[in-house]
Structure formats: C-alpha cells, structure tokens
Amino acid sequence: MTTHLVWLRNDLRINDNLALHAACRDSKANVIALFMATPEQWQQHEMSPKQAAFIHASLLEVQDALAERGIRLHYQACNTFSDSIDALAAFCEKQKVDQLFYNYQYEVNERQRDAEAEKRLDKAGVICQGFDDSLLLAPGSVQSGDRSMYKVFTPFSKAFVRRLQQGLPECVPAPKAREGAPLKTQAIPAFDYPKGEFDRDLFPPGETAALKRLRHFAKQPVLDYPDKRDLPALDATSRLSVYLATGVLSPRQCLHRVLHEHPDALDNSRAFTWLNELIWREFYRHLLVAYPSLCRHKPFVDWTHRVEWQRNEAHFDAWKAGKTGFPIVDAAMRQMKEMGWMHNRLRMITASFLVKDLLIDWREGERYFMQQLIDGDLAANNGGWQWAASTGTDAAPYFRIFNPTTQGERFDPQGDFIRHYLPELADVPDSDIHQPHRWAEKHHKKLDYPAPIVDHKAARKKTLDAFERAKSAA
C-alpha cells in the first residue's frame, strides 16, 4: 500500500488544507500526518510562550479531527530545523513513506529547511509536493508592468483584486473518513518551551472556534468595520489574526465567507475595507519572498540603516512596562502584556512612539512584539514595524510623526480603553484623561502614574534631525 505523509506546520486545520486534501485524493493510500516541535528554533525566532501554548492547544484539536477521519497524527520533538530534517528523513524511512505533502512557509530559514528536506527525501525516493496554502495568490503572481514585485501597496491591492475578479482561489473540503476511522489518540505532550497561558474565551483554539468567529464577523460586524476599526475601546475587529498566523484558518475561507454574505465585497463595498487588510497580509508575505533580506533584520530603504538610534534602557523598559506617561501608549502596551494581542491602531501608535519619540531602533520593538504576541507573524510584524519606522516599502514618510496625545484624543476620546488598562487614572475626567498630570497639578492631586518620559515636540525635532542626517549622508 502507498503511504502518504502530510507534514503539518503552520496549517493546523483539516478544512481547506491543500496539502492534506492532495494527500487524501487517493482513497486507497495510507495517509498519516506528522508535526515536529522545534522549541530551540522557536526561541531563536522569538515565538511568544502564548503563541506556543495556542499552537499546542490547536494541535490537540487537529489531532482529534484527523483521528475521526482515520488519519493518525504523529508527533516528534526536535530542537532546530536542522534536527527536524534528520528526524523527517528517519520517520519517512521507518514508515515507508512514498510521498510527502506539505504547505509552503515563506521565511528564509523555513525555505532553506524545506529545500534541504526535499533534497534528502528525493535521494531516498520520496516524492515531495508543496503547496501555496497560506496565501490567496502565490508569491510572484501579482507583479507590476515591468514584472517586478510592487513596492507600493495601493497598486498591488488593485492588481490583486483584478486577479481575484478573474477567478477566485478554490476552497477544498476536509477529507472524508478513511478505512479504520475513528482512531484512538494519545495526548501530545506539552512543548519543552517557557510556559505560556492565553485566554481561551478571547482566543478559543481550533478551527471549529475559528470558523464560528469568522461566520459571526462576516455578517454585520464586517460592515461596521470601516467606522469602528480604529476605536480600541470597542470589540470591532475580527480577532482572527491568531488563527491566520498559525494556519488554523486559511485566507481563502475568509474571502469566501465574506463574499457569501456580501457578494459585492470586492467592488469597493464596506466589506472590502476588511478584505483589504487581508491583502496587506498578502503584500507583506509576497515581499518576504521577493526581498529575503527582510527576514534578516534589514531595512527596505537602504539609507535608513545610517540613522543613529539611541540606546536608552530606561526608556525602553518604560515603554515595555506601559509607564511612559503617555496614557494611550501605556494602555496599549499593558493590553499586549495581558492578552498577547494589541489592537492594530495601537500597534501603529506604540511603534511610532518607540521609534519617533524615543528614537530607539525599530528592530528592538519588532523583537519585543514577537516575544509577546499570540498572533506573532514575521511578515506582518516586520512590515508593520518598518512602516511605522519609515524604513520599509510604502512606509509612512519619516517626517510624519504621530503625536501620542492627539492620537489618544482621536481614537479613545472618553478614555474608556485607557481607564480599563490604567486603573490609576480612574478618577481623571474625560477632558484631561490624555494629559492627566495637567489635571493633577491644577487640582493639587497626587497621581500614581509617571510623568511623560519625553517632551513630544523636542523628541520630534531630534528624530527629524537624525533622519535628515542619515539621508544626507547616503
């Protein structure tokens, strides 16, 4: 009997899993699956303990779903990607695997691992098939007129939508039950990784929960999204990012569900605002493939490597702890520490503050976010940080600098979000919530809250000078 192996990685689902679907086409084949934990490699990549815990919980869910269909999920723990290649080759030999099916990952280390694995398995006579599963359209398939990767998002998005309007990527069904189903399972042991805990009410693991959330969001909330998405006090975003980052949900499922509810969603309707965020996700992943240096902590705009960043541990620690004296920044940083998630508008505000107010290297912030986020994703995180730092493709111009006080006034006007995470400001009235020390001084109150660690106006000038020196030296 032919044996087909599905190598699961960031694709922990049975619905719309291209590698799994292809492996199961032959109804007579023996289909098995394998997941390999690589904790040492994960730590090198700054994976947060919360994300590791979420992956483990979702792995248990997909193990049960596969067992119901007669597909056994095997588990192995390795240290690094290099170790995983040896383990994969040995596993294929032991299980007499004829064909390997897997979904591509686009980061540099992952692509190198997969190329080496294919080389090893090819020598052993194992046929390998890879699939562009985590994207709507494959990298390199959306190009500008000169057949190069777009460097600006808006024309990329327009070209992307044109491609979708010509034909949608197909969603494939979960495999049917195979002979021997259902199988008994043994619980997969905990990863050898720093212990992380996440809120299962906010982020219930597994694709059943992910699909339920998607179905809910795609009805009315997706239409409200354009008006409410920038207000962190409201529960107005999809909260699907963790499922997309870990592959518990596919972008095709998101696209088809929104189009099912709103057939005009690609025609610049209200629902398109959220779909355009999916296209931003695609943009950053396509860029990783076109410019692998983005995986190696390199700025996209070359001259920005000359910016003279400040090393100020006290400022960096205050930013991480949510004690900068700027309420919207501090509330956002405390949200991330508590939830392992941060509202997207707040990601822009906190990143801008670190880089443009504190003049601290964006790579320090990028790394810290990955260490904290349950939805950490290299492409999106790097793209967002380079946008905020004015070092990336299609980034905010370096002279556009968010004022953290006015950002708070605009997006949390009554301070509802701020008070939730900064209870020490509970008594400060709405009119002064964004400048609480002004109120405290006026009313002779003592606040258990730090004064601003920088003067925004002076910090802005210092940052502009640093960027202008770097640019003139290029």
Active-site residue identified among 7, 42, 274, 280: 280
Active-site residue identified among 68, 116, 276, 309: 309
Q: How far is CA 28 from CA 96, 99, 142, 445, in A?
A: 15, 14, 38, 77
Active-site residue identified among 17, 385, 387, 403: 385
Is there a catalytic annotation at residue 362?
yes
Active-site residue identified among 79, 276, 312, 344: 344
Is there a catalytic annotation at residue 319?
no
Is there a catalytic annotation at residue 268?
no
Is there a catalytic annotation at residue 309?
yes
Q: What is the largest CA-CA distance in the chain?
A: 82
Active-site residue identified among 61, 107, 207, 277: 277
Active-site residue identified among 42, 274, 341, 362: 362
* Long-range pairs of 294-298 with CB within 8 A, sequence gap ≥ 24: 294/379, 294/382, 294/386, 295/107, 295/108, 295/109, 295/378, 295/382, 296/108, 297/363
Is there a catalytic annotation at residue 313?
no
Task: Please give the positions annotated as active site.
Answer: 277, 280, 309, 344, 362, 385
